[in-house]
Amino acid sequence: MFQFKKGTRVLVLDDEFGGVVAFAKAEQITILTDDGIEITYHQKELILDRSFKVSHVVRKEEPVLKRSKTRQISRKKSAFIPAVEIDLHLHQLVKSERGMDAYDKLNLQIDTARHKIEWAIENRVPKLVFIHGVGQGVLKEELNYLFRRYDQIKFYDADYQKYGKGATEIYILQNL
Query: In the chain, where are the structural domains located?
Result: 9-48, 75-172
Q: For residue 148, which amino acid is it? A: R
Q: What is the pLDDT of residues 52-92, one digit of tens each?
A: 555 666 766 767 766 655 555 555 555 566 788 999 999 88
* pTM for this model (two decimals): 0.54
More confident residue, 16 or 148: 148
CB-based contact 88:76 (threshold 8 Å): no
| Domain over 75-172 is classified CATH 3.30.1370.110 | yes
